[in-house]
Amino acid sequence: MNQIDAMERLVNQFSCLPGVGKKTAQRYAYFLLTMPENDVKDFADAIVQAKQQIHYCKVCGNFTDRDICSICAKPNKAPIICVVKEPKDVTALEKVRDFSGSYHVLHGVINPLENKGPNDINIRSLLTRINEEHIEEVIVATNPDVEGEATAQYIANLLKPLGVKVSRIAQGISMGSELEYTDAITLSKALSSRTEM
Amino acid sequence: MNQIDAMERLVNQFSCLPGVGKKTAQRYAYFLLTMPENDVKDFADAIVQAKQQIHYCKVCGNFTDRDICSICAKPNKAPIICVVKEPKDVTALEKVRDFSGSYHVLHGVINPLENKGPNDINIRSLLTRINEEHIEEVIVATNPDVEGEATAQYIANLLKPLGVKVSRIAQGISMGSELEYTDAITLSKALSSRTEM
């Protein structure tokens, strides 16, 4: 049953993608089989080429196809580094367009349950950057969960002795949300971090 | 910005998949970039090979990597053909395991809105098969929607003069569903198609 082999192999590959189960993988596979052969080759090429061309920026750890990513290569950046967990967080923050500093991608957070300590994430090079790039402020923008908070605290403790300002992105209720449906921890944060009007 | 090119190309490719929007495509793309290079190549290979090896069965129109698919190649099949819209319907029906006939994949249904007439779907070869394979019954298992019903009716009108029995899969309430939440058309079908106990 070679047919089942090629098909099953494709379905299994799609099942590896995040959030994709067997049914969805099958749907993708059937769709690909109905596409023209050239389009399917383009699809496969795009996958291989993206993987071959894109690697980590030497400075900040974001994805790039050069030695240094386009954000790090910009001249006249503000002396601020925004620390994030993953490259996709950079994409999210870049959409805002009102941050003119650079980023630093940790590629993970400190997580004792997964045996991930400070040495397993990209923190060491952050220290070098603070000196070399004369950084004045580090904004820690890890996610507001237990691991993200712990990592933020660790970074703050590490950097404050160097005389650099360390800040954390604000936590509170999100725009457009309703108090009624907001969870208690978020409400509590929103209250304690209230700002004067 | 070559980085954006390779990345955007990959995201665009994933966005072509059914039900995949920009956000999900981005998620898939970022995931692929974190996979080992060999795994990524395997992924791309699986796509190309499935497309190269798999085509339509000469007899029934189902996907196969040979001239004739494994179901059509089986000896001692019941002289019954189950007509379905797409290859994935064959997969669904094969899971039931209590049908021992063969299939016929239409690759579409009659749909005037999409300019699809009887000649645009795989009906002609069905007529040949009925004679050659001495078929006694054709079960039309197209979906129970307007186009599926119209196609079923067309096939019935076409085949009945040939002296072959034409039947339609039963419509009614599905197992485990509740009358309370069943739509009116389904209920009406379930009533009119009631069977004696």
| pLDDT of res. B144 | 87
Query: Residue A66: closest CA among chain B residues belongs to which residue?
Result: B3
By CA distance, what is A1's nearest residue in B? B70
Tokens at B29, concatenated:
């793309």
- Secondary structure class of A27 (helix, strand, coil): helix
Enclosing H/E stretch for A82: strand A80-84
Q: What average pLDDT does this structure show over B131-152? A: 91
Cβ within 8 Å of A, B 30-49: 30-33, 35, 37, 39-49
Collapsing DSSP states into helix, strand and coil, what is residue B130?
A: helix
pLDDT of residue A65: 86
CA B146 to CA A115: how far, in whole Å?
A: 57
Domain A3-53 class?
mainly alpha
pLDDT tens sequence across A24-82: 999 999 999 989 999 999 999 999 999 999 989 999 999 988 889 989 999 989 999 99
Average pLDDT over chain B, rounded to an integer: 89
pLDDT of A176 reads 80
Spatial separation of the C-alpha atoms in residues B138 and B115, rounded to whole Å: 26
Backbone angles phi, psi at B78, to 5 degrees: -65, 145
Minimum distance, in Å, between the CA of residue A129 and any CA atom of chain B: 23
**B162–chain A Cβ distance below 8 A for any pair:** no
Sorted by where each begins, the domain ranges of chain B are 3-53, 61-196
DSSP of A91-121, one letter per residue?
Answer: HHHHTT----SEEEE-SS--BGGGTB-GGGS
Q: Kindly state the tokens that stand for A144.
A: 């507001």
Question: According to the CATH classification, is domain A61-196 in 3.40.1360.10?
Answer: yes
In this structure, what token pair is assigned to residue A169? 């992105």
User: For residue A4, what is the nearest residue in chain B, using CA coordinates?
Assistant: B64
**Pairing status of strand A63-64 against strand A102-105:** unpaired
Cα distance between residue A69 and residue A60, in whole Å: 8
Of A3, A18, A65, the CB nearest to B6: A65
Whether the predicted model's global pTM rises above the 0.90 cut:
no
B163-172: pLDDT as tens digits: 999 999 888 8
Residue B185: Cβ within 10 Å count: 10
